[in-house]
Amino acid sequence: MAYKHVFLIASAAVVFASSGLAGPIAVTNPSFETPGPGGLPHVCGVNCSYSTDGIVPGWSASANSGLFQPGPPATTAFFNSVPDGITVAYSNVGDITQTTAATVQLGVTYTLLVDVGVRGDNQPATGVEYLVIGGPAGTLVQATGVLGAPNCGCWTTFTATYTGLAADVGKSIGIDLRSNGVQGDWDNVRLNASAVAGIPEPASLSLIVAGLVGLAALGRRRPA
């Protein structure tokens, strides 16, 4: 009976530890609704404005990046809608990056989702989105999706997925929104983590070992 109890306790602990890995990872200013100190001073139409100062709060942005409010309501010249809030981020041949507080755990799958826009005024979408493991010199996992038709003024969700390897445990997890031309537009950045069935993370492995040690100790105390 004692063996059974130890086994059940260790198994339950593993389940709880693994389930605790699932859920969203915090992204600062994920929908770009927090403006910089200079606001969005440039006017582009009715209820339309943008910044050019390279400041995107919570993110590191290149000089030719900024925030853009194409509405509300969104104008037909730019976008038909905005996925989340009223503000999006843009970059012209530059990067908007963020390193989260999370680090890679073994056997955990990380999923990046980013809404990518296609402007309605004959501006080709040039954005490329990456889930970044271990900093700029580490692993870049490019997000994939299908852009809307040219000049649609619409948005599509792009997705990048990565599962933690033993060699990457403890490495940083970041996001890189990159434009290779004029112009990349992004909104509604989300990052989630979920444990992969059959691959316990380090805390779970420790619990398994502790359970086995307990079983061994009980075995030594068992009467002959």
Is residue 83's pLDDT more than 80? yes
If asked whether residues 205 and 104 sit together in one domain, one would say no
| Domains of the chain: total | 2
The CATH number of the domain holding residue 58 is 2.60.120.260
| Percent of residues, the chain, with pLDDT higher than 70 | 76
If asked whether residues 48 and 139 sit together in one domain, one would say yes
If asked whether residues 100 and 180 sit together in one domain, one would say yes
Domain extent, residue 48, equals 22-200
Full 3-state SS string of 128-163? EEEEEECCCCCEEEECECCCCCCCCCEEEEEEEEEE
If asked whether residues 5 and 69 sit together in one domain, one would say no
If asked whether residues 40 and 150 sit together in one domain, one would say yes
If asked whether residues 193 and 208 sit together in one domain, one would say no
Burial-class residue 128 by CB neighbours within 10 Å (0-12, 13-18, 19+): middle
Any idea which of 1-5, 66-70, 125-129 has the lowest mean pLDDT? 1-5
Q: Under DSSP, is residue 46 helix (H, G, I), strand (E, B) or coil?
A: coil
Is residue 12's pLDDT more than 50? no
If asked whether residues 206 and 176 sit together in one domain, one would say no
* pTM of the entire predicted model: 0.80
If asked whether residues 35 and 145 sit together in one domain, one would say yes
If asked whether residues 160 and 205 sit together in one domain, one would say no
Can you tell me the mean pLDDT for 136-155? 95
